[in-house]
Amino acid sequence: MSKIRYSSAETPICSRASAIDRRAALIGATTGVGALLAGGALLRSGPALAAPPVGQPAPAFSATDTKGVARDLASLKGKVVVLEWTNAECPFVAKHYNSANMQTLQKEATAAGAIWLSVISSAPGEQGYVEASTANALTVSRDAAPTGVILDPSGKIGHAYGAQTTPHMYVIDAQGVLRYVGGIDSIASTQIADVAKAQPLFREAFLAVSQGRSVKNAVTRPYGCSVKYSS
């Protein structure tokens, strides 16, 4: 520490004091804020697959679908949004596509002005993972009618929504509030004959939301194969 002798007229102390105000605080505070954000990033995440609560704003997501169209939940405000987690090789999904049940639901929803997004959260190498071209080919070959198909190989959107099975259905109303989470219908089987016998829980919820009514069974049991996230 150097000794400084000075009179009241001289103020070399100023440069020292101003130095701390300028650069020291600058570097130090930047480090502090950086560390603060780093500290936040070091948090372990919470429960692995908790579905977001019904009645709250749905978790935001922003993705590009298989045709290159940007799909951002915030920009879809004003429309009812349906999210369908899917995996073409899962026998439960096949039950609804082979019976044309899913395609009928998709056409009904999109005709009513809703946005239907099929989401594939299978990790690369896992069952159900497809490239964009294959996904588009599947849409055509199955005569499916989603507004868009979103590939989510990192599982980010899947985890945000707590998607556990394929199919797993979500209905978000025009204000961005999540209104239905759960299964497509009430009979958890792979038999096509059960489609006609089951209570169409998803369809009832969708109709209620698009007609501005309250949803009677807002949380139901999703059934299907487990979503093949990366392990």
Partner 1 sequence: MRRCAKSRLLWIVLMGAIATLAGGARSGEAAESAAHVSPQASVTLISDVDRVAPGQRFRVGLRQKLAPHWHSYWKNPGDAGAAPTLALQLPEGATASEIDWPGPDGIDVGTVRNFGYENEIVLPVTVTAPATIRPGQTFSIVADADWLVCAKLCIPEAGKFRLDFPVAAASLAAGGDVAAAFAATDARQPERRQWTARLTDEGAALALTVEGDDITAAAIKSAFFYPAEWGVVVHAAAQQLAVDAGRLRLALEKGASFNAQGDVSGLLSIADGEGRRRWIEIAPKVEIAPGVGAAKTVSAAKIDGAVAEARSLPLARAALFAFLGGLILNLMPCVFPVLAIKAASIARLSGGALRELRLSGLFYTLGVEVAFVALAGALLVARAGGAAVGWGFQFQSPIFVAAMSWLLLAIGLNLSGVFEVGLGATGAGQNLAEKPGHAGSFFTGLLAVVAATPCTAPFMGAAVGAALSASPLVCLALFAALGLGLAAPYALLGLVPRLARLLPRPGAWMLRLRQALAFPMYASAAWLVWVLAQQAGDIGVLIALAGALLVAFGAWIYGVGQQGSGPRPILRGLVAASALGLAALLPQLGGAAAPRAAATTAAAGAEPFNSARLAALRQAGKPVFVNMTAAWCITCLVNERTTLSTAAVKASFQSHGVVYLKGDWTNQNPEITDFLRSFSHDGVPFYVFYPPGGKDAVLLPSVLTEAAVVDELQGAVVN
The answer to whether 198 contacts partner 1 (rule: CB under 8 A) is no
Residue placing its CB nearer to partner 1 in the complex, 29 or 137 = 29
Binding segment for partner 1 (CB under 8 A), chosen from 98-106, 138-146, 181-189, 195-203, is 181-189
SS (H, E, C) the chain: CCCCCCCCCCCHHHHHHHHHHHHHHHHHHHHHHHHHHHHHHCCCCCCCCCCCCCCCECCCCEEEECCCCEEEHHHHCCCCEEEEECCCCCHHHHHHHHCCHHHHHHHHHHHCCCEEEEEECCCCCCCCCCCHHHHHHHHHHCCCCCCEEEECCCCHHHHHHCCCEECEEEEECCCCEEEEEECCCCCCCCCCHHHHHCCCHHHHHHHHHHCCCCCCCCECCCCCEECCCCC
Residue placing its CB nearer to partner 1 in the complex, 40 or 68 = 40
User: How far apart are CB 179 and partner 1 at their closest, in Å?
Assistant: 14
User: How far apart are CB 5 and partner 1 at their closest, in Å?
Assistant: 9
User: How far apart are CB 148 and partner 1 at their closest, in Å?
Assistant: 22
Nearest to 158 by CA among 147, 170, 146: 170
Candidates 55, 60, 75, 112; binder of partner 1 (CB under 8 A) is: 60
The answer to whether 189 contacts partner 1 (rule: CB under 8 A) is yes
Total chain residues near partner 1 (CB under 8 A)? 74
Candidates 96, 107, 157, 225; binder of partner 1 (CB under 8 A) is: 225
The answer to whether 214 contacts partner 1 (rule: CB under 8 A) is no
The answer to whether 197 contacts partner 1 (rule: CB under 8 A) is no
Residue placing its CB nearer to partner 1 in the complex, 176 or 200 = 176
Quick note: the x/- pattern for partner 1 over 73-112, rule CB under 8 A, is ----------------xxxx--------------------
